[in-house]
Amino acid sequence: MTIVLMTGIQSALNPAGVQAEKIARLWDLFFWVSAVVYVLVMIFLLAALLRRRPEIVPNATSPRVRAAVSIATGLTVLTLFALLTASIFTGRSLSDVPERAIQIGVTGKQWWWHIEYDDTDKSKRITTANEITIPVGMPVTVHLQTSDVIHSFWVPNLHGKRDLIPGRRLTWTFSADRPGVYRGQCAEFCGYQHAKMALWINALPAAEYASWLEASRKSSKIPSTPEERKGQEVFMSSPCPLCHTIGGTEAAGKTGPDLTHFASRRSIGAASVPNRREFLAHWIVDAQHFKPGSLMPSMTLEPGQLEPLVVYLESLR
Amino acid sequence: MKRVLVVLAALTLISCEREERKFRQTPAEAALQKRERLVSLVAGPYTPDVKIDGPYAYNAHGISEGKRLFSWYNCVGCHANGGGGMGPPLMDERWIYGSDPEQIFATIVEGRPNGMPSFRGKIPDHQVWQLVAYVQSLSGNVPKDAAGGRQENMQVRKQEQSIPDLEPEKAPAEHP
């Protein structure tokens, strides 16, 4: 069981960062202590069951029984106290936050994650959705807020859970020690599609991270083929730009996920389905099939409009 | 006997339209989109219009979605929260271009002279119908049990449920 979980991209038992490491060690301690206690209790129970009943049953107030009860109670209290102490110390060490960290804004929405890399230089700001890219070995502080109901930010491989409370800004600092892809999940019930509110963390080596930043700061790719141009026309003349932004175009809606570099993302609909052509086409005309209740309306398109639209969106690397 | 009664009582909830959530448009709703006449003069003999309720007039979820879209599509930019500003107020009994659901639908989709933009092709039809239901609720013209009962933001007016039912004025209002 443990071995299966160890390979997981969404598992607290496969820590990839300092904070997750501490939580995993605490988990190990709890696991082994509980296992030993369980085995001991079972041994005593079995012994009691197999032992022949003595001729004279000892009185409950006899010194022997009293001693046995006191020892058992003392051991239980001591064990629980030791676990409590371990838990408190782990919590304390987790609250040590490094001063210099990469700042990323994360806003929970029903049911997706809005991601923002702020910068004093406005042209260097990055807006994306459902995918956070971070450099390996650097502490990252996410500033969590919600625009509707309570959510919870949880990437088990990197850190524990942190709730997003309406009207408050909370921070959560973690780091990834090895490159990889980690999956996060909203961990507080937030409505109909709570289960389909996931996100990805891409931990990249420093050099790759720098080139990712460079690429993400650019505005969207200008359509180069006739089909892409037609797709852009379809996008602009349909309801899409009222909710979605594509950097460098007139589409500047703020209520849906930013699509400037849409094709570089791993999945659609907050990790509901992989970002592949067949899912994308289906998503556009009938998002309610994958995610009933999501705010993406089903689009009514003219014949021949869907294909170029998909081609255009797939070109937005 | 008691158990049977409980089951029967639970069964009545199935027919409760108020809480029904429609995520897709039905063909019947799409068929409602016949073009609205912009004048009351009609060629030929007098044919009374068949009045049609919008598909969301009795649906609490549809009306609350309309309320959300009302700010998302920036209707608030001109009409404020129904009180009017650059555009006419929507919480009174004056209807410049008609108070029927179809007429409100046409006002949104076609646009109207002097400032109301046309949203044709920019808002999916079922969302226009949700907006229609919300606009009706601003003057109390939807059932009270379906109208919105709470305000998430700053209170600028009564919540839709408490707005008195304002009968549309008989004579159409003057063109502004």
CA pair distance B107, A101, nearest whole angstrom: 52
- Specify the pTM: 0.82
Chain A partners within 8 Å of B125 (Cβ): 300
Measured at the CA of A163, the angle between CA A190 and CA A147, to 5 degrees, comes to 60
* C-beta of residue A198 within 8 angstroms of C-beta of residue A270: yes
| B10 CA to centre of own chain | 30
Chain B partners within 8 Å of A238 (Cβ): 121-122
Distances (CA, A) of B60 to A149, A274, B148: 19, 34, 7
What average pLDDT does range B118-127 have in this prediction? 90
H-run or E-run covering A104: strand A102-109
CA pair distance B147, B58, nearest whole angstrom: 8
Interface contacts A/B by beta carbons within 8 Å: 28
Point out the residue among A237, A297, A298 whose CB comes nearest to the CB of B121: A237
Domain boundaries, chain A: 2-94, 102-217, 226-314
Distances (CA, A) of A265 to A133, A308, A317, B142: 11, 19, 8, 43
Residue A109, SS3 per DSSP: strand
Q: Write out pLDDT tens, residues A180-189.
A: 999 999 999 9
In this structure, which topology does domain A226-314 adopt according to CATH? Immunoglobulin-like (2.60.40)
The pLDDT score that the predictor gives to residue A2 is 45
CA distance B149 to chain A (A): 18
One fold for both A102-217 and A226-314?
yes
> Is the Cβ pair A300, B72 closer than 8 Å?
no
CA distance B4 to chain A (A): 31
Mean pLDDT of chain A: 91
Best residue in B22, B23, B118 for a mutation probing chain A (most A CBs within 10 Å): B23
Q: Is the peptide bond before A200 cis (omega within 30 degrees of 0)?
A: no
Q: Write out pLDDT tens, residues A66-83.
A: 898 999 999 999 999 999
CA pair distance B152, B155, nearest whole angstrom: 8
* C-beta of residue A20 within 8 angstroms of C-beta of residue A93: no
pLDDT band at B36 (very low <50, low <70, confident <90, very high): low
ipTM score for this prediction: 0.75
A61 near B CB under 8 A: no
Chain B partners within 8 Å of A288 (Cβ): 23-24
pLDDT band at B29 (very low <50, low <70, confident <90, very high): low
Nearest CA in chain A to B62: A293
B76 near A CB under 8 A: no
B158 near A CB under 8 A: no
B27 near A CB under 8 A: no
Query: Could you give all domains of chain B from N- to C-terminal order, each with its CATH number?
Result: 60-148 (1.10.760.10)
In b/e form, how buried is each residue of B103-128, taking b as 16+ CB within 10 angstroms? bbbbbbbbebeeebeebeebbbbbbb
Whether the pLDDT of residue A34 is over 60: the answer is yes
Nearest CA in chain A to B125: A300
Q: Is A2 exposed, middle or buried (0-12, 13-18, 19+ CB in 10 A)?
A: exposed
CATH of A102-217, one of 1.10.3720.10, 2.20.25.240, 2.60.40.420, 3.40.50.410: 2.60.40.420
Lowest mean pLDDT among A7-11, A53-57, A185-189: A53-57
| Rg of chain A in Å (alpha carbons) | 27
CA dihedral over A116, A119, A120, A125, signed as positive or negative: negative
B22 near A CB under 8 A: no
> Is the Cβ pair B25, A298 closer than 8 Å?
yes
